[in-house]
Structure 1
């Protein structure tokens, strides 16, 4: 009679020692102290019941489809099988309107000023700081209040023109590519254009 190669007890001991070696390698050096025995707890079966199936409700925004039909997306059109569908050409969206620059940097530069009497002159709004304001110059202005402008500022969408000492000479708002407003002292209209 041939001898069995390994006894059942030897196989169990070998499996337990291999399991302990494998788990100690994976768990790291702190868990390797002493022999480890694999413990297997018996699994108790859960009570079984009947299993039922039902279709899921459609996601929000999608109409429920009749039995057997796939759900449709919002705006989709149902077409009978075998029907040819002709797609309408896709119209690209209109380009965004051009960006009109506003703010302090958009008004820096040289302007042609025109007052209510029709008198014209040059007003230059610089980006060079002058204390809390910016430097400005006016040349050839027949209006004495406009001729004294030495500084300017941009606040709350308006350009303020200042005379020495901080007196406001005029206030203007952007209107397309120009500035329109009035002189402070007389209330006469004032427009600056490029």
Structure 2
């Protein structure tokens, strides 16, 4: 039985191809064409230590559409072009908020004028004047049953606090608050005192 010619030719071509492709792996010398460049070994590549890697977002490419930041607060419209959904409702009573502290007056002139004084011993009036008295300002009290307040004759404003002074230069009271309401303590007894317009 004769083999077809094409099969015989295929076997012969395969044998020639395998013989021509011998390599150093199979024990033979490498075969090169006449025009091939000489073989040179590349130098070994060494790993180079790198410094710390810093990451930062790249600026957008001019003319390219911007992609919204997934960490950005919601706003605008969603993918379907609809406005964002409102936040879910909260149930129960809202948490009580602490009252805002009274603003600190910004100047001495905001404190000048007549004040109603309230202490545990009663009420009276104090007038804070803009007339200087040495390094303080003049003050006067009327109708005060408290001995320390009845002797108030000067006052000053320092570091957001009003100081009331009595005859002799000792502090009668220290107060803090706004130009319409002050609260503090009497210096000797520590009893609370408030001034209001």
Q: TM-score, normalised by structure 2?
A: 0.49
Q: TM-score, normalised by structure 1?
A: 0.50
